[in-house]
Amino acid sequence: MRIYQEADYEAMSRRAANLISAEVIRRPDCVLGLATGSTPIGTYKQLTVWNQRGDFSFKEVRTVNLDEYKGLPPTHDQSYRYFMQTNFFDHIDIDVANTYVPDGLAADPDAECARYDELVRSLGYADLQLLGLGRNGHIGFNEPCGSYVKETHVVDLTQSTIDANARFFASADDVPRQALTMGIGCIMAARRVLLIASGADKADAVYNAFCGPITPACPASILQLHNDMVLVGDKAALSKLVAAGVAVCG
């Protein structure tokens, strides 16, 4: 595992964008696994700047998103399809037909999960999977539980996740209670995993994920077993790793 410590959120975002753009330049038709939430917004903004400047193209890239809220249409301003469009896809030269997000309105959510698993498998899984990290150690919407779930599945969101996402909705009551999420198997099948973390409120989660035991009680801890894992964080998020003596690159 490689760990990059950056001074702040902006530097973290640039480092992550550099790693993603290098993948696109090296393999123009690569498959990118993408994440939502506040943490990757800076990364998407930096990639947009470089793409619009002509440094590289997303025309042949295919993307698979980690998750989607159950019950939200793609036009809802808090759906993850809407997030990806407004924060990234609408501003770059990607073919939107090659961007995939689970269908939160599927009449049969279990069938949709199976369909999405097959889609990701048919693409050969992600060449690079971008991840954020929940305060409770979740990746995608794989919440702390008694066992890892390999396949894409419907998950009940924990109260801590609902509380963390409430800032994006009018109230906590408006946050969906379920989501469709890519399973641990699909995430771990990616050729490379890039996890980004920012802020002191993520320091415990980062420490538990990479210094603690491998356990589904901290879903991100499974990443310790990935053979090409990159962690990029700012000083605040990595503070407890550094205090524990974990070697980082500056």
The confidence score (pLDDT) of residue 164 equals 84
HSE-up (13 A, CA, CB side) for residue 238: 23
Main-chain dihedrals φ then ψ at residue 195, nearest 5 degrees: -105, 130
- What would the pLDDT profile of 188-225 be if each residue is shown by its tens digit? 999 999 999 999 999 999 999 999 999 999 999 999 99
Q: Is 153 a catalytic residue?
A: no
The confidence score (pLDDT) of residue 111 equals 98
Q: What is the rounded average pLDDT of the residues 102-127?
A: 97
Q: Choosing from 6, 112, 117, 143, which is the catalytic residue? A: 143
The confidence score (pLDDT) of residue 91 equals 98
> Mean of the per-residue pLDDT values for the chain?
96
Q: Choosing from 6, 67, 112, 234, which is the catalytic residue? A: 67
Q: Which residue has the higher pLDDT, 250 or 127?
A: 127
- What would the pLDDT profile of 123-160 be if each residue is shown by its tens digit? 999 999 999 999 999 999 999 999 999 999 999 988 88
Q: Choosing from 65, 136, 142, 208, which is the catalytic residue? A: 136
Of the pLDDT bands very low, low, confident and very high (cuts 50, 70, 90), residue 170 is confident
Residue 161 has pLDDT above 90, yes or no: no
Q: Is 143 a catalytic residue?
A: yes
Domain over 14-199 is classified CATH 3.40.50.1360: yes
The confidence score (pLDDT) of residue 246 equals 92
With beta carbons less than 8 A apart as the criterion, state whether 220 and 138 touch.
yes
Q: Choosing from 23, 138, 153, 165, which is the catalytic residue? A: 138
Q: Is 136 a catalytic residue?
A: yes
Residue 45 has pLDDT above 80, yes or no: yes
Q: Give the percent of the chain with pLDDT over 90.
A: 91
Of the pLDDT bands very low, low, confident and very high (cuts 50, 70, 90), residue 165 is confident
| Per-domain boundaries in the chain | 14-199
Write out the DSSP string of the chain: -EEEEESSHHHHHHHHHHHHHHHHHH-TT-EEEE--SSTTHHHHHHHHHHHHTTS---TT-EEEESEEETT--TTSTTSHHHHHHHHTGGGS---GGGEE---TT-SSHHHHHHHHHHHHHHTTS-SEEEE---TTS-BTTB-S-SS---S-EEEEPPHHHHHHHGGGSSSGGGS-SEEEE--HHHHHTSSEEEEEE-SGGGHHHHHHHHHS--BTTBGGGGGGG-SSEEEEEEHHHHHHHHHTT---B-
Provide CB contacts within 8 A for 116, sequence distance 6+: 100, 102, 152, 180, 182
Q: Is 67 a catalytic residue?
A: yes
Among the ranges given (14-18, 161-165, 223-227), the one the predictor scored with the smallest mean pLDDT: 161-165
